[in-house]
Amino acid sequence: MRKLFLTFVFALISIAGFAQTDWVVDPMHSSVNFNIKHMGISFIQGKFDKFDGKVSTAGNNLDKGAFDFVVFPATINTGVEKRDKHLMSADFFDVEKFSEIKFEGFTATKGKDNTYTLRGKLTIKDVTKEISVPATLGGVAKNQQGKEVLGFQSKFTINRLDYNIKYDPTGAGVAKDVEITVYFELIKQ
């Protein structure tokens, strides 16, 4: 009988060790930003005002994480309305045809300290490519409502031409490389 009981206890501990933890993006404490060189001499910064996402992890870190984020390019905001409208046009994001930018991450590999490499698929317009992006886990804390929150950030670069954003293909006026920085705070569900 004792053997049966111990087997049951070890099985419960094993299941608990692999329990999935779900987190959702808190848009009030998160942001999706970009930076791109203009005319080879200056930079344009912007952000997307609307995005959503969730992360499923094996606990209170990014280990064995699955990531699902969506950004709505029609909410692009560079602080200049005329430029934002041009960025929404077919020259850039073509928001009439492509209303979402997606990142579907399928692995998180732990590095040193609180660093990770997230691998997944990034879809912009009609192109999906596998990418790896670095992430830094900020940690886990409790918010004012007593809920657990997890924070992480990532900074990476993509070539916009790889995703059919073909305006100025020489990169002389609008650079080819776009630096993307995301800050996410997620609430435990």
Question: Running DSSP on this structure, what letter comes out for residue 126?
Answer: T
Q: Indicate the pLDDT class of residue 60, thresholds 50, 70 and 90.
A: confident
Q: How far apart are CA 52 and CA 70, in angstroms?
A: 5
CATH number listed for the domain at residues 20-188: 2.40.128.110
pLDDT of residue 101: 98
Ranking 1-5, 21-25, 82-86 by mean pLDDT, the lowest is 1-5
H or E segment to which residue 149 belongs: strand 148-159
pTM above 0.75, yes or no: yes
* pLDDT (tens digit per residue) in 79-126: 999 999 999 999 999 999 999 999 999 999 999 999 999 999 999 999
69-90: b (≥16 Cβ within 10 Å) or e: bbbbbbebbbeeeeebeebbee
Phi, psi of 104, rounded to the nearest 5 degrees:
-115, 105
Average pLDDT, the chain: 91
Yes or no: say if 182 and 32 are a contact pair by the CB < 8 Å rule: yes
